[in-house]
Amino acid sequence: MALTPTEIEHLINGAAPAVGLKLTFEQKRGVATYLALAAEMADLVQGLPLGRDDESGSVFTPVSPGSAA
């Protein structure tokens, strides 16, 4: 699902303040460019078939400090 420019703008204008970011116009343009690219890449990945034998991605398993890894 490709994002429209309006959807990208809404995403930036909603997410940036939520995490305390104050973006300039130029910064917003850069973020918008990256989000559009990321959305295109996500579409490519989502379009690939996934079979029963395909492995999931790596999973981080934390250990307690001082325990043997």
pLDDT, one tens digit per residue, over 35-69 is: 999 999 999 989 899 888 888 778 888 898 887 65
Assigned domain for 12 exists: yes
Assigned domain for 59 exists: no
Number of domains making up the chain? 1
Assigned domain for 26 exists: yes
Residue 56 is predicted with a pLDDT of: 79
Q: At residue 2, does pLDDT exceed 60?
A: yes
Assigned domain for 62 exists: no
Assigned domain for 52 exists: no
Mean pLDDT of 20-38: 96
* pTM for this predicted structure: 0.67
Q: At residue 21, does pLDDT exceed 80?
A: yes
Residue 7 is predicted with a pLDDT of: 96
- N- to C-terminal Cα separation, the chain: 41
Domain assignment of residue 32, given as a range = 5-46
Residue 4 is predicted with a pLDDT of: 93
| Sequence-separated (6 or more) residues with CB below 8 Å from residue 3 | 11, 35, 36, 39
Assigned domain for 39 exists: yes
